[in-house]
Amino acid sequence: MPCCIPPSCIILPGTRNIDQTHSPQLESWVASANHPDCEFPIQNLPWGTFRKPGQEQSLPGIAIGDRILDASSAFGVESLAAVMAQPRERRIALRRVISRYLSEYQTGADRNLTALAEAELLLPCSIGDFTDFYASLHHATNVGTMFRPADPLFPNYKWVPIAYHGRASSVVVSGTPVRRPSGQIRQGQFARTERLDYELELGAFIGPGNQQGAPIPIAEAEDHLFGVCLLNDWSARDIQAWEYQPLGPFLAKNFATTISPWIVTLEALEPFRCDPEPRPPRDPPPLDYLSQTAPGAFRIALEAWLRTAQMPEPIRISHSQVASLYWTLGQMITHHTSNGCPLKPGDLIGSGTVSGPQKENRGCLLELTWRGTDPLSLPNGETRQFLEDGDEVIFRGRCEAPGYRSIGFGSARGMITNESAS
């Protein structure tokens, strides 16, 4: 870490940690960052890992307008993993340093910029573990209704944040083609999946984490939340339906998970912090170890877009709101560690499919087409029950709040291919 970073700053628990880096008046000398539609204004400062054109070295960087600021040459940052492992106060202090660097021009500072369009964007860090939750009550209710109409939710749902351990090795960065997987799609048949689906999710990267045997209390959970990204938990529904009992998802999920390259930090999300949606009446309150006094939700609008081989202009097929989740990211982190399970810097958590109450808020094709019984009609006359080869799914995300600069997530995209990996 560079020596110019102050050692600490004060975090006020239970309040928004808003400072000068969130001021809507703040502008950058990187002119493209000041455009009102820009996803990466100076108030955002998302982290990623990139390569400069023609170079082998991977570098930690910060997206600003249509440029990437090289954090290794500007601040001596070795890697994004090193930033994630820092205590929250240090990360807040670093954000202030970066904000000032990008708002007050110093001679030669532009030498640390690379055009976003020319850079190769990589996975942000080496992901040690990946856990995918199931935190949307709307999603769980829709899927449960399809398979168990009389009793859609299992009795544990409103008590315990449900999750399964995914496969970190199959997480890929946006733009990586997604090969249609083969598997046991029904009894007696091994073949290419016929029911390939996406799941619109929020990903969360873990910051410092905990020692094995030392659970993270709910009041400290967000200290271990580095930031969030878009996440597509590609799913083969036929493989899933055949294999999932009694131990849950396995090969239906771990062939690929796509994430966006930019991690929007917890600090950048502060203006969009809110109370979670109220629980339905008569639902049990969270147990004490999951009970949050501070507003622990974030208003993040997610969108899924679809482009097909015959439809080059993508269309939006669903949109939903992260604040509608039944469990917050803090509750997921605390629950995950409640038995002493260690979380490490760079571990990835998925929220589970983010769906909402209306049809257009359904976060996967399984829900949107109701298991294929109500196919999606596209404007060019095509229909979809599930994804076809050549389809590209594109996720977007945006945060807006009165009095603050809107920030975006970039995109997480993947095209379905039917080719074997070479």
The catalytic residue positions are: 139
Q: Are the C-beta atoms of residues 102 and 28 closer than 8 Å to each other?
A: yes
Q: Which CB sits closer to Ca ion, 206 or 354?
A: 354
CA atoms within 13 A on the CB side of 310: 8
Shortest reach from residue 139's CB to Ca ion, in Å: 9
Shortest reach from residue 336's CB to Ca ion, in Å: 15
Shortest reach from residue 211's CB to Ca ion, in Å: 28
Strand partners, 130: 348
Shortest reach from residue 198's CB to Ca ion, in Å: 10
Kind and range of the H or E run holding 72: helix 71-75
Instruction: List contacts with Ca ion (CB under 5 A).
Output: 132, 199, 233
Q: DSSP character for 419?
A: P
Shortest reach from residue 234's CB to Ca ion, in Å: 9
Q: Which CB sits closer to Ca ion, 238 or 270?
A: 238
Q: Which CB sits closer to Ca ion, 185 or 202?
A: 202
Q: Which CB sits closer to Ca ion, 38 or 231?
A: 231
Residues recorded for the chain: 422
For 109, counting Cβ atoms within 10 Å of its Cβ (0-12 exposed, 13-18 middle, 19+ buried), the class is middle
Q: Which CB sits closer to Ca ion, 71 or 366?
A: 366
Smallest Cα–Cα separation from 45: which of 75, 15, 9, 10? 75
Tell how far CA 27 is from the center of its chain. 26
User: What are 392's two structure tokens?
Assistant: 């590209």
Count Cβ atoms below 10 Å from residue 105 Cβ, excluding itself.
12
Amino acid (one-letter) located at 144: G
Q: Which CB sits closer to Ca ion, 60 or 397?
A: 397
Strand partners, 121: 50
Q: Are the C-beta atoms of residues 335 and 71 closer than 8 Å to each other?
A: no
User: What are 134's two structure tokens?
Assistant: 């199931």
Cα distances (angstroms) measured from residue 395 to each of 52, 100, 121, 196, 392:
25, 31, 16, 16, 10
Cβ partners under 8 Å of residue 379, min gap 6: 311, 315
Shortest reach from residue 83's CB to Ca ion, in Å: 27
For 341, counting Cβ atoms within 10 Å of its Cβ (0-12 exposed, 13-18 middle, 19+ buried), the class is middle
Residue nearest to Ca ion (CB): 233
